[in-house]
Amino acid sequence: MKSFLFAISCALLVFAGQAADLTGHWVASISLPHGQTRETSLWLKADGDLLTGYMSNNQGDIAISHGKISGNEISFEIIRDYFGEERKAEYTGTVTDEGLVLHMPAAGGRGGGRDLTFKHVSNELPKPLPPPPPKIQLPPAKDVPYNGLAKTPPMGWNSWNKFRNKVSDELVRQVADGMIRNGMKDAGYIYVNIDDTWEGTRDEQGNIRPNEKFPDMKALADYLHSKGLKLGIYSSPGPKTCAGYEGSFKHEEQDAKTFAAWGVDYLKYDWCSATQVYDYHSMPAVYAMMGEALLHSGRPIVYSLCQYGVFHGPQWAAKAGGNLWRTTGDISDNWNSMSHIGFDLQLDLAQYAGPGHWNDPDMLEIGNGGMTDTEYHTHMSLWSLLAAPLLAGNDLRDVPSNILEILTNKEVIAIDQDPLGKQAKRVAKDGDLEVWARPLANGGYAAGLFNRGPATAKVTARWSDIGLTGKAQVHDVWAHADRGVMADQFSADVPSHGVVLIRLKPEGK
Alpha-carbon distance values, 236 to 68, 181, 243, 244 (Å) = 35, 33, 10, 10
For residue 458, give the CATH number of its domain. 2.60.40.1180
Query: Low-confidence residues of the chain, pLDDT below 70?
Result: 1-20, 32-36, 107-112
Residue numbers of the domain that contains 41: 2-122
CA distance 361 to 331: 8
As to burial, measured by CB atoms within 10 angstroms (0-12 exposed, 13-18 middle, 19+ buried), residue 79 is middle
* Contact between 161 and 367 (Cβ < 8 Å): no
Same domain, 234 and 319: yes
What sections of 97-139 are H helices per DSSP? none
> Do 321 and 300 fall into the same domain?
yes
pLDDT digits (tens, 9 = 90+) for 369-407: 999 999 999 999 999 999 999 999 999 999 999 999 999
Q: How many C-beta atoms lie closer than 10 Å to residue 481's C-beta?
A: 10
* Cα–Cα distance for residue pair 158/167, rounded to 1 Å: 10
pLDDT at res. 477? 98
User: What CATH number did the domain enclosing 371 receive?
Assistant: 3.20.20.70
Last residue of a domain, one of 421, 451, 467: 421
Q: Both 180 and 55 in a single domain?
A: no
DSSP 8-state class, residue 368: S
Which of the 8 DSSP states describes residue 16? T
Cα separation, 474 vs 481, whole angstroms: 9
Claim to verify: residue 430 and residue 417 sit in the same structural domain: no
Any domain includes 112: yes
What does DSSP assign to residue 344? G
163 plus 110 within the same structural domain: no
Domain end among 106, 122, 138: 122
pLDDT of amino acid 60: 81
Residues 277 and 236 in one domain: yes
Would you say residue 128 lies in a domain? no
Residue 44 in any domain: the answer is: yes
Strand 390-392 and strand 425-430: the pairing is unpaired
Residue 209 shares a structural domain with residue 251:
yes
How far, rounded to the nearest angstrom, does the alpha carbon of residue 506 sit from its chain's CA centroid?
38
The CB density around residue 464, as the number of other CB atoms within 10 Å, is 11
Give pLDDT, residue 15: 38
Of all helices (H) and strands (E), which one includes residue 44? Answer: strand 37-47
Q: Give me the amino acid identity at 481.
A: A
Question: For position 67, which CATH number holds?
Answer: 2.40.128
**388 & 433 share domain:** no
Nearest in space to 235 (alpha carbons), one of 316, 304, 166, 139: 304
Contact 303, 283 (CB under 8 A): no
Angle between helices 252-262 and 217-226 (to 10 degrees): 50
CA distance 459 to 482: 18
Helix (H) or strand (E) holding 41: strand 37-47
What pTM, to 2 d.p., does this model score?
A: 0.90
Q: How many domains does the chain have?
A: 3
**137-174 pLDDT tens trace:** 999 999 999 999 999 999 999 999 999 999 999 999 99
CA 72/CA 405 separation, integer angstroms:
51
Q: Answer yes or no: is 325 within a domain.
A: yes
CA proximity to 347, closest of 389, 392, 391, 309 = 309
Q: Is 139 within the bounds of a domain?
A: no
71 within a domain of the structure (yes/no): yes
Question: What is the C-alpha separation between 328 and 341, in angstroms, rounded?
Answer: 7
Amino acid letter, residue 213: K
Q: Are residues 168 and 297 in the same domain?
A: yes
Do 341 and 397 fall into the same domain?
A: yes
Residue 145 in any domain: the answer is: no
Going edge to edge, which strands form the sheet with 481-487?
A: 425-430, 433-439, 445-451, 499-506, 471-476, 481-487
Count CB neighbours of 313 within 10 A.
Answer: 25
Q: What are phi and psi of 345, to 5 degrees?
A: -95, 5
Q: Is residue 417 located within the same domain as residue 447?
A: no
DSSP state of 139: P
Domain-ending residue, one of 421, 439, 464: 421
- Residues with a known catalytic role: 270, 330
Q: DSSP secondary structure string, 19-33?
A: PP---EEEEEEEE-S
Rounded Cα gap, residues 73 and 61, in angstroms: 23
Measured between alpha carbons, how far is residue 401 from residues 159, 178, 405 in Å? 21, 13, 6
User: Would residue 147 count as lying in a domain?
Assistant: no
pLDDT in the model for residue 31: 77
List 487's β-bridge partners, or say none: 471
288 and 385, same domain (yes or no): yes
